[in-house]
Amino acid sequence: MKRFLLAAICCILYNTHLLAQLPALDKVEPMNWWVGMANPKLQLVVHGNNIASRQVQLAYPGVKLAAVHKVENSNYLFLDLVISPSAKAGTFAIKFTAKGAQPLVYNYKLNTRDRSANRVQGVTIKDLIYLIMPDRFSNGDPNNDVVKGMRETGLHRDSMFSRHGGDIQGVMNHLDYLKDLGVTTVWFTPEIENDEPQASYHGYAVTDYYKIDPRFGTNELYKQYVEKCHSMGLKVIKDIVHNHVGTECYLIQDMPMKSWVHQWPKFTNSNYHDMVVMDPHASANDKKIMLDGWFDRRMADLNENNPYVQNYLTQNHIWWVEYAGIDGLRLDTYPYNDGPYMSQWAKDIRAEFPNLSIYGETLVWSAADQAFFTEGNKLNQGLDTHLPGVTDGVVKDAIYEALNGKDGWTDGASRLYAVLAQDFLYKDPTKNVVFLDNHDMSRVFSVVNEDYTKYKSAFALLLTTRGIPQMYYGDEILMKNFSNPDGLVREDFPGGWPGDKNNKFTAGGRNKKENDAFNYIKKLANYRKNTTALQTGKLLQYIPQKGVYVYFRYDALKTVMVVYNSNEKEQEMETAYFAEGLNGARKGKNVITDEAVDIAKLIIPAKTTLIFELMPNGIH
């Protein structure tokens, strides 16, 4: 009993302390908006000490205060505004008044939308995505390494679970490196504030939705980063999280209402089993734990059935795209979200930004599981998700099976053939993002047991198959390690910090094998960038024979032939069987060596992938 009373007293004191520290007007979010949006409705979240006791007034032509919502917590008001098409850009006062108290005023700004041609371009099958963890790529501004007042102030490069000091400026300093490699699109793990006590460098435990983490930079710097990318012909993807929020976020520390997050009698993790979402025989309890269970103790599970939560998330994502001109959004932990809300979210986002690309992270186990979450199919119990594409982990697994497995009816290279044969499940499989690894997975060079020939085949398959290819920072210089423990796949890029022994951003800092790997990917990536057949071209694949997998990518301009030998020994192959793809061609240019080759009969070394541009063109 004494222990219970002590806990209750501590809770009261803690909440009293929070209340005492809370300013009369702490936050208004979104802090600004734009005229001319497709949706005229805007819901402002106002947070401040007992703000609900005040009356709200505003007067501005074309802006109507449609409703004022008081909720369980008197420290919040939710204001519904309607911004008519006739409203002009400008600033107006929102007044919060109470009898006998000094009025509180927030000057709200409506901006004009930026209609520049190179904003919000969208990411397509013509692109190559490069994934970066900002904390681990390059430290461009040592002045923001430690920020006073934040909960984690340590900087320990010798620990995989501490901050290392990488930042946005560091990436900006090396955009030329990415451009040279053949990258067209840059994706960061989340760069918004994660002010958690420890190990929050990854970015997936947001504590301020509208603020770049100050250890990475500022909102203004992020916008400059996007603009610099666009000026160099690069696109930008922003990583966003619908499912969960860091427990130090003010929306959790002082929740608007209990239903803001999913509540449990005791801490309950998600069971992480996406199958129950689609299983017609699933237990209701299994499904509830999957969708409503918390991802982690420091990541509160948001209740996406709550309309206030829905408005908050959707408006935040619209705000960032409009503010910075982002080209695409990667949606973290997509299967854990509420399906109907995510469907409406996609429609709302695309209504504002028709060219914006969105794709969901779906680390599932079959093509059917992935297709369940994509738009335009009949699999999702009558729900159209309006999600164009997903992260194609099934193709990733099939590539590794082709590289490491033994030839069989559905094993080895036949697995890759079989997975691509299921593309009928998708409305458009070319909108899936294909990849070999990321920040949560073992690196490709380690997965192929540091076999350099297999490594090159992995990238040859990745950069010539259908879909939008994505690679992970450092793969091009043979960075390695396994995901268990996961910190080891998040090592710093050598040369990104002053004083690093080797600077692998330069040829002189790389060894011979690393330079060879870099140049191989550079050659193939830039060839893909200039070859529409590998972008928008059709795919013609053949059943693997004796462990040799052959496919063609073609359009009216070019035909590219890809031949992969999955065997441990070289194979000799006559190509007459592939007449449909060859379309009379007998010679091809080796894309890597630029050598003209007679392709009537080929000798393919073990575990090697050969890529030929047919001379003359094949299929038309």
Q: What is the CATH number of the domain that holds 75?
A: 2.60.40.10
- 31 with 179, same domain: the answer is no
| Active-site residue list | 332, 361
Give bridge partners of residue 76 from the DSSP assignment. 47
Give bridge partners of residue 472 from the DSSP assignment. 131
Residue 553 dihedral angles phi and psi, to the nearest 5°: -115, 130
Burial 186-216 (b: 16+ CB within 10 A, else e): bbbbbbbbbbbeebbbbbbbbbbbbebbbbb
Instruction: Mark which of 111, 144, 161 sits at the end of a domain.
Output: 111
114: its two tokens: 């930026």
What's the pLDDT score for residue 534?
98
18: its two tokens: 């929070």
The position carrying tokens 């098409």 is 85
3 within domain boundaries: no
620 within domain boundaries: no
Q: Is the peptide bond before 197 cis (omega within 30 degrees of 0)?
A: no
Which stretches of the chain score pLDDT less than 70? Answer: 1-21, 617-620
What's the pLDDT score for residue 21?
63
Burial of 49 (0-12, 13-18, 19+ CB in 10 A): middle
- 105 with 135, same domain: the answer is no
388: its two tokens: 């164009």
- 601 with 477, same domain: the answer is no
The position carrying tokens 């140049």 is 519
Question: How many Å apart are CA 90 and CA 363, to the nearest integer?
Answer: 45
What's the pLDDT score for residue 19?
45
Q: How many domains does the chain have?
A: 3
- 479 with 397, same domain: the answer is yes
Separation in Å, CA 144 to CA 45, 400, 497: 29, 40, 14
How many residues can be counted in the chain?
620
Instruction: Mark which of 530, 557, 579 sits at the end of a domain.
Output: 530
- 198 with 313, same domain: the answer is yes
- 67 with 172, same domain: the answer is no
- 351 with 454, same domain: the answer is yes
What stretch of H or E contains 57?
strand 55-58
Q: How many CB atoms lie within 10 A of CB 399?
A: 28
What's the pLDDT score for residue 14?
42
- 503 with 550, same domain: the answer is no
Q: Say which amino acid occupies 364.
A: V
135 within domain boundaries: yes
8 within domain boundaries: no
Q: Say which amino acid occupies 509.
A: G
Separation in Å, CA 502 to CA 166, 429, 444, 445: 17, 41, 22, 20
Burial of 341 (0-12, 13-18, 19+ CB in 10 A): buried
Nearest 5 degrees, angle CA 465-CA 469-CA 475?
115
What's the pLDDT score for residue 166?
98
Separation in Å, CA 128 to CA 365, 560, 597: 24, 18, 28
- 352 with 402, same domain: the answer is yes
3-state SS, one letter per residue, for 102-152:
CCEEEEEEEECCCCCCCCCCCCCCCCCEEEECHHHHCCCCHHHCCCCCCCC
Strands 104-111 and 235-240: unpaired
pTM of the shown model: 0.95
311 within domain boundaries: yes
- 56 with 201, same domain: the answer is no
Instruction: Mark which of 484, 504, 530 sits at the end of a domain.
Output: 530
119 within domain boundaries: no
We report the CATH number of the domain holding residue 508 as 3.20.20.80
Nearest 5 degrees, angle CA 571-CA 574-CA 578?
115
Residues contacting 460, CB < 8 A, separation 6+: 524, 562, 564, 609, 611
Cβ–Cβ < 8 Å for 327, 121: yes
Alpha helices, DSSP H only, in 353-408?
367-372, 393-404
- 253 with 349, same domain: the answer is yes
Range of the domain at 342: 129-530
Separation in Å, CA 389 to CA 238, 372, 529: 15, 11, 21
117 within domain boundaries: no
- Tell me which DSSP letter residue 501 carries: S
Torsion of CA 350, 352, 358, 360, to 10 degrees: -80
Q: How many CB atoms lie within 10 A of CB 506?
A: 11
Q: Say which amino acid occupies 143.
A: N
We report the CATH number of the domain holding residue 546 as 2.60.40.1180
Q: What is the rounded end-to-end Cα distance, in angstroms, of the chain? A: 82
- 453 with 543, same domain: the answer is no
9 within domain boundaries: no
